Every structure is written in C-alpha cells, then in structure tokens.
Amino acid sequence: MTASSLVGTWRLVSFVTGDGQGAVPYWDAAATGLIIYTADGYVAAQVYDARRPKLGKEWEQADPNTARTLFAGLATYYGRYTVDTEASTVTHFVEGAMSPDWVGSRLVRSYRFLGPDRIELGVLTNAEGQPATNRLVLVWERVGP
C-alpha cells in the first residue's frame, strides 16, 4: 500500500484500548467517528462516545457538569498530515482542535491496512508529544473517495 491509499473518508468501526490482558472498548462498543484524509495533505478527525446524553436545549445553555460530560466524550481536530511509509506511521499536525492545548501538536499514529478499505490506526503519541500511556487502537472502514 502507498501513502495515497489513506486518501478518502473513513468511518469508525471500533475504538479499543489494550492493557496486555486483551482489548476492551475505550468508551463503549457504539463509539462513532469519521476521519478524512485529502489528497493535498489535510486530515480532519472526529470521534464520539455514543453514550453522551442529549441536551434538550441549545448547547450554549448547558450547565458546567453537563458540558464536561459532553466534552469528555469527544475528540475532534484538523490539520495537515504526513506519511512515513517505511515506519508505517502517519503524523497529524494539529491546527485546530476541541482542546486548545492540542493546537500545534503532532499526533503520531501507526497504520496497518487490514484490506483495501479497512485500516487500523494505533495511537503512538499524545498531544503533549509523549508516548501514549495506554494502547488505543482505532479501526476505520472506507466510506468514500
């Protein structure tokens, strides 16, 4: 596979963490998300905990506890990306994110194609540029060009 094989729109199939005893869902088995890689080097990623409760009002009117629950159940960002085919890694250079602390960070992910339309991304570094402390693995299925 080549770096151009990443280009497209991908829907989240699974989001798990492993502790050496096996993989378990990170949020729940119904986590949802989308990641888009463009041919000109941009990435946009969104992952959501499907258990987040509905607000029943405008999001700006959420009380602090509700807002914290909603915020903790999502991860979104966009920016540029580069691929290292020898190391089988993709690096996301965050330009905008749900957390302002992520802006300017480099998120390094291992990648492994599980077929022409399925890819596994492993979280290697966190937004602080440190090695990830828990093994997070996301499997994505291509849904568009």
Q: DSSP per residue over 27-92, as a string?
A: S-TT-EEEEEE-TTSEEEEEEE-TTPPP-SS-GGG--HHHHHHHHHTEEEEEEEEEEETTTTEEEE
Domain count for the chain: 1
Backbone angles phi, psi at 101, to 5 degrees: -65, -20
Q: What is the mean pLDDT of the chain?
A: 89
129-141 pLDDT per residue, tens: 899 888 899 999 9
For the beta carbon of residue 109, count every other beta carbon within 10 angstroms.
24
119 pLDDT above the threshold of 70: yes
Structural domain that includes position 89: 3-144
26-71 pLDDT per residue, tens: 877 779 999 999 999 999 999 999 888 777 778 777 788 877 777 7
Domain at 61, CATH number: 2.40.128.640
What pLDDT is stored for residue 22 in this prediction? 67
2 pLDDT above the threshold of 70: no
DSSP state letter for 4: G
25 pLDDT above the threshold of 60: yes
Residue 19, Ramachandran bin (φ over 0: left; ψ between -120 and 50: alpha; else beta): alpha
What pLDDT is stored for residue 45 in this prediction? 98
Q: Per-residue confidence at 110, pLDDT binned at 50, 70, 90?
A: very high
For range 106-126, the mean pLDDT: 95
